[in-house]
Amino acid sequence: MSEIRHGSGPKRRRRHAAPKGGPARSVDQSVPVRSAGSSRAADSVRPNDPINQSNSIGQADPINQAGPINQSTSVNQSGPANPIGPTTPPDPPRRRRRQCDSLLPAVPNGRLSMRGMVRSEAVKLAGLKSTYWLLGLTMILLPAGSALAAWARNLMASVQNSSQNPNPDPVPIVPATDLWACVGGFIGTVALISAIFGVLAITAEYSTKSIQSTLTASPDRVRLLAAKSWVTGVFVFAATLVGLLISWALVTIMAGQWQWRVTPLAGNQRHLPWVVMLGGPLVLMLIARMALGIGAIIRSTVGAVLTLIGLLTILPTAASLFVAVANQRWLSVLVDLLPSSAIGTFMQAGASDTVAGTDGSAVGSVDGSAVGSAVLWSPNWWQSLLVLIVWWLVADAIGTLIFRRTDIR
């Protein structure tokens, strides 16, 4: 039997009677201290209740005595004493995990999405100063070029009117095709600015070494380059559309001030306003995305910009001079397939093939057989759009292949 002394000390040693055939063992155990006036005794005894205590070699050994002592409280040397009696069993682990999960905030699954990549690239482009400079320059040059073209067209109409008529009409007659040509006349010039913007969208990260952190956050290089291409195209499309709207308003105001007599469009020219207002932004978007693919191939700002300057300005001029000197008709087909020539043909939308009457109205179209005798083949305005799409797809495919397989240096 055990003997417990009630006192103020936190720990007491008690010795149990040794069972038959074995020596007595002493067990150190922290017993909750109860006051003398407590309603319950500290050592309530219940039958058939084993006590798991630590023996001298550190293993759990239940002690079965003649009068086993039920110690229903948990033994805790550092914490406060618990009340004696049966305690509530702990919740199962699964239930505790569910309660903890309900208290935690929602955490993303960590998977990359195309939408997230597009938003990330849009934020990066919106934070660059070059974006505002180049797109702002686009929105300024388009109206400026339209105003300059309208002024030149008004001067030519005045001179032509006074030279052909003995009593010149003070109101110049201007075909509607010339009016829309003034609105979208600077698309070919602004194409180089859009190309530079597309190059900087990717080569700027190579020059600052931030491409390493970008690829760490977005390891899927194919979708990353696609997101860059789409964001760049949307930025250029929006800026070009704003610039063309300003150009159209400016040319309309200038035509009203000069009292132009604008002739209506012919039946086969009804698509010309749509081609200028929506086809112009589409063309510059394709040029910017093609330039981004070239930037992914070269991965150098200077090298990519010089390549685009040669492709858009130097090569068409040199090829045209070579065609005029060598008199080789097949070379003229290659010139028509260059991006700059395709832009010019597409923006005309077939209006150059229309014959104008004496009053400026369209009366017919040029026979294609006369043109076919001079050159082997020349793409029309919608085929020129397909040529630009092919240029973009080829540059984007090669750039994606190199961007995916080449290490960052």
CA–CA separation, 50 and 285 (whole Å) = 83
Which SS3 state, helix, strand or coil, does residue 63 take? strand
Crossing angle between the packed helical segments 381-405 and 280-298, to the nearest 10 degrees: 30
Range 34-46 average pLDDT: 44
pTM (global) more than 0.85: no
CA–CA separation, 148 and 138 (whole Å) = 15
Give first-to-last CA distance, the chain, whole Å: 82
- pLDDT of 194 strictly over 50: yes
pLDDT at 122: 95
Range 363-369 average pLDDT: 43
pLDDT at 113: 86
CA–CA separation, 403 and 224 (whole Å) = 10
How many distinct helices (H) and strands (E) make up the chain?
A: 15, 8
CB 380 within 8 A of CB 350: yes
| Mean pLDDT score of the chain | 76
Please tell me what DSSP assigns to residue 22. S
Lowest mean pLDDT among 60-74, 79-93, 111-125, 213-227: 60-74
Range 357-367 average pLDDT: 45
pLDDT at 292: 97
- pLDDT of 244 strictly over 60: yes
- pLDDT of 130 strictly over 80: yes
Sequence letter at residue 29: Q
Q: Which candidate, 309, 302, 291, places its Cα nearest to that of 189? A: 309
pLDDT at 1: 44
Find the length of the chain. Answer: 409
H, E, C per residue of 7-30: CCCCCEEEECCCCCCCCCCEEEEC
Joined together, the tokens standing for residue 344 give: 């010019």
pLDDT at 250: 95
- Give the CA-trace dihedral at 238, 240, 246, 248, to 10 degrees: -120
Instruction: Report how far apart, in Å, the C-alpha atoms of 402 and of each of 100, 148, 326, 338, 409 are.
Output: 47, 43, 37, 23, 13
